[in-house]
Amino acid sequence: MILPANPFTGRCNTDARPGSVLVPVLLLLTMLFQPPAAVAQDSVTWMEADAPPFFIQRGPDKGQGYEDIITRIIREDLPDYAHHRVSATISRHYRDFKNGEKVCNVGLYKTPERERFIYFSIPSFFTLPTVIIIKKERFAEFGGTKTVQLEKILQDRSLLIGRARSRSYGRYVDEILDRHRGQKNIFVYEGEQLSLNFFRMLQRDRLDGVIGLPEEAMYLAGQLGIRDRIMTLTIEENQKGMESWLSYVGCSKTPWGRKIITRINEILEKERPTERYRAAYERWLDPSSLARYRKLYQEVFLQVRR
């Protein structure tokens, strides 16, 4: 009798017993009809900073910062990516962008320098522009007016102004800060709890003013219990155009970055008109600003697609 060949070796089974031939045949069939291995999932790392109310990483409002929420919305619409989060300094952010890592940030000002190593989406945020934050008791030292020229403020060497290292404050403010780079009356700082530490310095009169966003000022002043002692000054140079009102999602300038930015643009087109998306930022505004903000959101922000 001819013994059945072993399907794996091609040799005859010299010790075949009744029914033993079924085992290798079943194994072979299993291998033939097994679905192919799943394709490895692509990934994206979302770069964050400990800077409330953009990102809130501790306390009762943890995870409720407006950049926390918008990141979450985008992540929900990218289920085919593995998502990671990293909290780091701004300098670390830009190092990873320049190195072509698979990283994105949900709310960046667009600048010519950054466009060399970052792909930008359509606008992701429409925020009130940068202001100078001071203690009310120092109002007269800043000219006694609610609108000031940053250029003149920085020319006054008696006033010490705080700014974050590597942070952009919008086109017009950045241009002025660049012209005054290295001056002793500009205090440059970077580190953990960056914004909160600036406010502590302001509270203790170690700084005369801090450059930041109005919602940032009100949130942090509230955390320190000094909200009634803080005020914001409008920067006149910021009124030239809307560039200082718009932020963008940024991803590394690589083929990977181009691909994911295309997807993110589709998500933003769909999500930006929704109440959930708009409310992420609105909850941090002074109620008196809401009507004007919503009007500009509809008439300006939703019309910008570049």
pTM over 0.85: no
Pairwise CA distance, residues 198 & 195, whole Å:
5
* Token couple for 266: 């589709």
Longest dimension (CA), the chain: 111
If pLDDT is split at 50, 70 and 90, which confidence band does 58 have? confident
Count Cα atoms within 13 angstroms, Cβ side, for 52: 22
Structure tokens at 278: 């708009």
42-128+246-303 is classed in which CATH architecture? 3-Layer(aba) Sandwich (3.40)
- Domain limits, CATH 3.40.190.10, in the chain: 42-128+246-303, 131-242
Residue 28 is predicted with a pLDDT of 43
In angstroms, rounded to a whole number, what is the distance separating the alpha carbons of residues 146 and 141? 12
The whole-angstrom separation of Cα 306 and Cα 304 is 6
Looking at the domain 131-242, which fold is it?
D-Maltodextrin-Binding Protein; domain 2 (3.40.190)
Under the banding of pLDDT at 50, 70 and 90, the label for residue 272 is very high
Percent of the chain with pLDDT over 90: 62
> What Å distances lie between residue 246 and 93, 158, 256, CA to CA?
20, 32, 24
How do residues 18-37 score in pLDDT, each as one tens digit?
444 444 444 444 444 544 44
- Of the candidates 223, 188, 171, which has an alpha carbon nearest to the alpha carbon of residue 52? 223
The pLDDT-based confidence of 192 (bands split at 50, 70, 90) is: confident
pLDDT computed for residue 40 by the predictor: 58
pLDDT one-digit tens code per residue, 153-163: 999 999 999 99
